[in-house]
Chain A
Amino acid sequence: MDTTFVLLSIAKIAVVWGGVLTGAAILVLAERRISAWIQNRLGPNRVGPFGLLQSAADVVKLLFKEDIVPTAANRFVHDFAPMISITVALTTFAVIPFGDTIEAFGQNVKLIVADVNIGMLYILALTGIGVYGITLAGWSSNNKYSLLGGLRSSAQLISYELSMGLSIIGVIMISGTLRLDEVVMHQTAPLAHSMQKLPSWLQWLIPVAGWLPSWNVFFQPIGFITFVVASFAETNRLPFDLPEAEPELVGGYHTEYTGMKFGLFFLSEYANMITSSALITTLFLGGWHLPFAESWGLSPFALSLVKIGTFFVKVTILVVFYIIVRWTLPRFRYDQLMRLGWKVMLPLSIANILATGLLLLWWS
């Protein structure tokens, strides 16, 4: 292991963590402002220009708050739960490629922190660990509302992780790899390449849609929808925020948390939003790929920057979509959540795998 590799990895980790943490802080503000705009209000716009320093003020406030632990709580687990949540939220991004390659220090650097060949498994495993943070927080607080929130969260994650994993399988079947940067590479060819094999009565589609990039969303529309819905459930966002349903469970799993320990749960929720948006972008929306960017005749360095920018813009759009959905849809009831998970999403994603397999067989 040479020094440049270590230094480059540290630099990449700094960039990713800086990006995710700053992004999470800005998202907290964006959430409040967008919700205000949807409700014909202005939202917080006093602290700093456009209210941009609101999150900084909130963090300072949270740091100075008293840390209250209930007397009957299990102190060790109570302290440990937010650490699990934030660790998972900050490490998931490691396998997501946020750009192609970039010229730096005389070598081509891959813009991905950990270029592992089991990227997708890593992400699924980590989201599985993430549920421990919430469930343990609920259990250790020794409060019935927290416990209910934690239990709901584990039930919800188990139900939706199934359809999440199964909807990824369609993508894996198409791209034939678990490595996320290869999944992105696979999506960069124009759609016309794969349309050559269409039957003759569908050949007219080539001039109409052939210019489109071959992003997986065009091959896997059902997989895309099930994956997006499952990601909403995985990140505990409305309409699936049952673990912290305010009208029923006070604050859900974080009822008994104060100060920065609550802040960590809050931060990890928003960091998870960014990570799952980045994952949706990578798996279904072509990652850093911008159609026709290669034909603009940019220098390699500028092209790399354009690709990073493309990734950033795609993730931003998805995150704003997350926020708008939160302020549009009402919360599911618990039985509706389970019905949707087991009776709709699971059969749908299995059918999607079957259809993908049959099409691939016929295609080749």
Chain B
Amino acid sequence: MGTNGNIIRKKDLGFWQSIYVPEILKGLRLTITQMFKPKFTYEFPEVRFKPPEVFRGRPVLVEENGVERCVACGLCSRVCPALAIEVQAGETELAKERYPIKFEINMVRCIFCGFCEEVCPEEAIIMSNEYLLAFNNQVEAVFGKEKLLKSAAEMRPRLEWLKVNR
């Protein structure tokens, strides 16, 4: 039976406990003190939660010197458990040789697991702190490169955090 052995029987109660009223007053004191404690609620549209670096918001592509870090290896697309990422590789003249012609994340499918970030050898795809993701239709929810690219300077806190914690 799921008992923890601490059942209070009626015979265990003292006189003041068994006439209820002082116990009721004790309970009332607790609730009344709780009433005047500070509240933790964020009044959402006006005050917004600023997530710390650990937060896994929507994934973004890091852009450095005007070009994405991504080498289009396709590991993120491979590891993605929700099959949300689609990468098409192309050749480039730069030292890194390959770049993604097309990089799409379907934000309706994304489950914010962070596997893409973990698997990426170039620290090219990382989780940002953006969490306001509501869409009117499915087409709007597919983020292409133009929405995914963020400069390395902007993503600095997360990159610093990744250096220490990964």
Contacts and interface: CB of A to CB of B under 8 A. Distances in A.
A3 to B, nearest CB: 50
Interface string B35-72: 11111110100000000000000000000000000000
Contact of A327 (B31, B39, B43): B31
Tell me the dominant secondary structure on chain B's binding face.
Answer: helix
B39 A329 contact: no
A328 B35 contact: no
Question: Chain B, interface size: which category?
Answer: 10 to 19
Given A34-B35, A37-B35, A225-B21, A42 B28 contact: no
Contacts of A225: 21
Nearest to A321: B28
Interface string B1-32: 00000000000000000000100100110111
Contacts of A329: 24, 27
Contact of A328 (B30, B38, B40, B43): B30
A328 B39 contact: no
A39 B39 CA distance: 9
B137 interface: no
A324 interface: yes
B138 interface: no
Interface string A127-151: 0000000000000000000000000
Nearest to B24: A329
Interface string A1-44: 00000000000000000000000000000000010011111100
Contacts of A41: 39, 41
Interface string A317-358: 000000011011100000000000000000000000000000
Given A225-B21, A329-B24, A42 B31 contact: no
Contacts of B21: 225
A42 B41 contact: yes
Contact of B43 (A37, A38, A42, A325): A42
Contact of B32 (A39, A40, A324): A324
Nearest to A42: B41
A40 B27 contact: no
Contacts of A325: 24, 28
A112 to B, nearest CB: 32
Given A225-B21, A329-B24, A40 B31 contact: no
Nearest to A325: B28
A135 B16 CA distance: 36
A102 B41 CA distance: 47
Nearest to B26: A328
B34 interface: yes
A38 B35 contact: yes
B57 to A, nearest CB: 25
A40 B28 contact: no
A327 B32 CA distance: 10
A37 B34 CA distance: 7
Contact of A38 (B24, B31, B38): B31
Counting chain A CB atoms within 10 Å of each CB, the highest count among B37, B38, B41 belongs to B41
Interface in A28-71: 34, 37-42
Contacts of A327: 31
Contacts of B24: 325, 328-329
Contacts of A42: 39, 41, 43
A347 to B, nearest CB: 13
A40 B43 contact: no
B34 A38 contact: yes
B22 to A, nearest CB: 12
Contacts of A34: 35
A34 B34 CA distance: 10
Contacts of A40: 34, 37-40
Interface string B94-117: 000000000000000000000000
18 contacts: A37-B34, A37-B35, A37-B36, A37-B39, A38-B31, A38-B35, A40-B38, A40-B40, A41-B39, A42-B39, A42-B41, A225-B21, A324-B32, A324-B35, A328-B24, A328-B27, A328-B28, A329-B27
Given A41-B41, A325-B24, 19 more contacts: A34-B35, A37-B34, A37-B35, A37-B36, A38-B31, A38-B34, A38-B35, A40-B34, A40-B37, A40-B38, A40-B39, A40-B40, A41-B39, A42-B39, A42-B41, A324-B31, A325-B28, A328-B31, A329-B24
Interface of B: 21, 24, 27-28, 30-32, 34-41, 43
